[in-house]
Amino acid sequence: MPIGESDRLLTVLTREFGLIRAIAPGARKHESSLRGRSGLFVVNHLLIAKGRNLDKIIQAESIESYTGLSQDLRKLTAGQYLAELVLHQALSHQPQEDLFALLNEQLRWLEQLPASAILPYLSYAMFRLLALAGVAPQVHECCITQQPILPNFSDLNWQAGFHPALGGVVTIGALERLKAHPSSLDSPTQAVDYGQTVSHFQDLAENGEKKVKAIASFPVASNSGRANSIAPGQAQPLAPLASETSSRYRVKPSRQNLSELGVPITAMELAVLQQLPEANLIQPDGSLPWSLTLEKGLPFDVWVSVERILRRYAQYHFDRSIQSAALVDTCFSVSSSPSPVT
């Protein structure tokens, strides 16, 4: 962001010190050597002088620059989206070697992907970031019964459920009963009729709340340059979604409306979610398996739904809105599908 007459205030992810904020003096001048090196998605060696309130960049030597992202608005948007997720989970004043390496790997893959693989890769990359943060959703077993959930493609009306507060997928029966008895997440005195007491829901909700508070206490740099903690419950409203198919994800992630966070998901959406944890999902050439791309495999609207399912989950567990989501909705709305829906 601009500061002063010609300076820039940068938020930088580093291997050694996590998130830092530093001034790049004169970086907005055309002749400045820091102008290009202080742009988005540039990897530098930095010489930084410690200051009383803000550090100052004295020298920068570029190592790598993901210029290909700026040549495609969808890739640039996806890169910004991933960077914002990293910003939500990165720590200040602590080494962030794994997070730094993962973001660089994701930007490198994203830069070379074909248009049909951008949205699928964005969902895959989101899942890996959630896994690194230790909050990846449970996608193979019901979060309540711990029984495996397998998609049934022979039944066109088959559905499961997905609930961020409970940690991932649940049976559709559990989701419907939870919606019918919203007090089951905060009242230990009632019971539901599928063998699970409401006190079990209460335990799950409290554990989820503790996890949220732990994540929300990550130190972040404030405008003054000092590290502050994000107060739990301070999440901003969700950005409006462009596609009508996403109307079921418009609920603000409020702790007071936990029952409203759950949504039904189709067999196809569940099948995709269950493939995302695969470590070798990306092929050596950077592509995804043909069954996961838009050209030969899954319909575009399935990937739109999967991204928004993960978005709602990430916003709940990081207790922060993803500001880049509005641009993602514009670039990846159903009407802007890069290839015919099959």
Q: What pLDDT is attached to residue 302?
A: 92
Q: What pLDDT is attached to residue 125?
A: 95
What is the C-alpha to C-alpha distance for residues 235 and 317, in angstroms, rounded to an integer? 10
Q: What pLDDT is attached to residue 225?
A: 34
Domain ranges in the chain are 1-65
- Sites in the chain below the pLDDT cut of 50: 186-256, 339-342
Q: What pLDDT is attached to residue 282?
A: 76
Q: What pLDDT is attached to residue 208?
A: 43
What is the C-alpha to C-alpha distance for residues 201 and 194, in angstroms, rounded to an integer? 12
Q: What pLDDT is attached to residue 52?
A: 85
Nearest residue to 108 via CA among 150, 79, 136, 134: 79
Q: What pLDDT is attached to residue 275?
A: 92
Please, what CATH class does the domain formed by 1-65 belong to? mainly beta
The pTM (predicted TM-score) of the whole model is 0.76
Q: What pLDDT is attached to residue 131?
A: 95
